[in-house]
């Protein structure tokens, strides 16, 4: 998105681009040897993994806890 906006002529200091870059920086995590760019917050992954675990444990997909997730 950032590159597309720049290609359309938006200046680098445009508020939309600045906000997007800051968002990317906020999702970067440093590991022991490098940086990792997260795609989503952990709450998204946590919900998906817990829902999967509940279904693997035998809860049906239509159970309210799974449906709500």
Per-residue pLDDT tens over the stretch 44-59: 888 889 999 999 999 9
The answer to whether residues 33 and 58 belong to one domain is no
Name 35's bridge partners.
Answer: 30
Domain range for 23: 1-38
Kindly report, residue by residue over 9-46, the tens digit of the pLDDT: 999 999 999 999 999 999 898 889 998 888 877 778 88
pLDDT above 80 for 65: yes
Q: Are residues 1 and 33 in the same domain?
A: yes
Of the pLDDT bands very low, low, confident and very high (cuts 50, 70, 90), residue 69 is confident
pLDDT value at position 56?
A: 94
Helix (H) and strand (E) counts for the chain?
A: 4, 2
> Is 1 in the same domain as 34?
yes
Domain count, the chain: 2
* Claim to verify: residue 32 and residue 46 sit in the same structural domain: no
Under a CB-based contact definition with an 8 Å cutoff, are residues 35 and 27 in contact? no
């Amino acid at each position: 998105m950032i590159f597309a906006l720049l290609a359309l002529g938006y200046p680098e200091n445009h508020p939309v681009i600045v906000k997007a870059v800051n968002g990317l920086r906020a999702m970067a995590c440093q590991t022991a040897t490098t940086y990792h760019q997260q795609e989503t917050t952990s709450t998204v992954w946590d919900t998906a993994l817990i829902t999967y675990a509940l279904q693997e444990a035998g809860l049906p997909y239509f159970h309210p806890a799974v449906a709500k997730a």
